Amino acid sequence: MGCGTSTMELDDRYYEQKRINDAIEKSLKSHQKVEKSQLKMILLGAGESGKSTVLKQLRLLHKDGFQYQERLQYAQIIWVDAVQSMKLLMIHARRLHIPLKCDESDSPFSQAKKLILRYRCLDVGTIGDENFLKDYVMKYSDGGESRRKKMGTGQADALWDRNLEQSERLLGDSTETELENQELEELKESRPTGDFAARKQQRQQLANAIQLLWAHDPGIQQCYNRAHEFQLEASTRYYFENIQKFADPDYICSDTDILKGRIKTTGITETDFNIGSTRLKVLDAGGQRSERRKWIHCFEDITAVVFVLAVSEFNQTLFEDERVNRVHEAILLFESLCNSRWFVDTPFILFLNKIDLLEEKLQQTNFKEYFPDYTGDVHNVDSVVTYLERTFLSVNRTNKPVYVHRTCATDTQSMEFVLNATTDILLQNHLKKSGLI
């Protein structure tokens, strides 16, 4: 009895909820349809293999390239990396017992050494965010990323000061064990000034110091030639040879600069491309061991896996574990991924990257020392790359195809051909799965 008085109100509410539910269902089905029609490629490989550089090339070829703010940030990052790289060369020269001219108290290079050591790498030029670079540099120190999250600004500054003291003790004059207190306080207080003209002058002096040591201190060059014995940015030579332009706080990076620069990838990044009538989603995953546990979250509905190997790193060790050879690690990683249940029917595309750096390195390094079962010419690039290709293909225990491309990820012209061929492979495989061919 009495129910009739509320029927209209209930019906209105019911139909409104049903309308909303139907709209959500329609949106979800539409999204699923788009997802199914979209090619999905994931870039995998060990750390510093060149995955992010491949993604940069895709952006240059099939998107709008890089925005003004990104170019500014890359300029600051390269500047930091250049200064840090010179510091590393001085530190490891001492560790490797390589004499440096700048360590001699009466050397004209000693002042250049002091300028580099006292620079705190927090001069962010025009991007206006000190924490941007501080966070970036901390990521590259041991445990730096997690440590930075746990500490406040004051603690972070204290850590910088402790690191500065340690560097100075390592690099002090050969007759000294520690700096004098007055000089140490001067180093701690040498923060970049807020005055633009003074900051620009400071960076110019520092660039001149780096250029001087790189060109005229033979110990620096000798240490650089042994860079495979420690962790050094692959583009260090490029940074030093172009240090004058990176010293300008207002410098805007070119495409080549960005391809040479490196920002460590953390987590998974997703980038969408429209290549002709094809929609392509590219996932770029950080390659360090600590990042790999995140990979499994994006393994579903992958059209193809691009595995990137830096062939030039055959004599280098991992950033996160200096007991492990980088290529040996990559072989084990490729084997586990290629034979994983997640990728039973998923084609793999193997990029044998950094061919240009391999060619340089083989002139000075015996490949057989690191791969004793290699029987070819130790100086022949083609022979070495063929050996590595066969080694990787031999661990594929499935029937799926593995397509191989030899690449130099920083060379836009060659990468355009490789990436177009890769897109064709993805499209062909997608059409086969859809039953259209």
| 51 is an annotated ligand-binding site residue | yes
Question: Is 265 annotated as a binding-site member?
Answer: yes
- Any known ligand binding at 288? yes
353 is in an annotated binding site: yes
Question: Is residue 26 annotated as involved in ligand binding?
Answer: no
Placement of tokens 């850590």 in the chain = 159
262 is in an annotated binding site: yes
354 is in an annotated binding site: yes
412 belongs to an annotated ligand binding site? no
- Per the annotation, does 6 bind a ligand? no
The reply to whether 388 sits in an annotated binding site is no
254 is in an annotated binding site: no
The single residue listed with the structure tokens 């499935």 is 398
Strand pairing report for 278-285 and 268-275 = antiparallel
Residue 45 marked in a binding site:
no
Determine the residue type at 365: T
SS3 label, residue 266: coil
Distance CA 217, CA 229 (A): 20
261 is annotated as contributing to ligand binding: yes
Q: What is the DSSP string of 360-381?
A: HHHTTS-GGGT-TT--S-TT-H
The reply, when asked if residue 252 is annotated as ligand binding, is no
Please provide the distance, in angstroms rounded to a whole number, between the alpha carbons at the two ends of the chain. Answer: 65
Q: Which residue has the tokens 């050879």?
A: 325
Radius of gyration over alpha carbons of the chain, in Å? 26
Which residues, at least 6 apart from 340, have a Cβ–Cβ distance to it below 8 Å?
Answer: 299
Cα torsion for 159, 164, 169, 175, to the nearest 10°? -160
200 in a labelled binding site? no
167 is in an annotated binding site: no
Instruction: Please tell me whether 38 is known to bind a ligand.
Output: no
Strands 348-353 and 402-406: parallel
Residue 304 is labelled as binding a ligand: no
Q: Is 129 annotated as a binding residue?
A: no
Residues tagged in the binding site annotation for GTP: 48-53, 259-265, 284-288, 353-356, 409
Residues tagged in the binding site annotation for Mg(2+): 52, 265
Residues tagged in the binding site annotation: 48-53, 259-265, 284-288, 353-356, 409
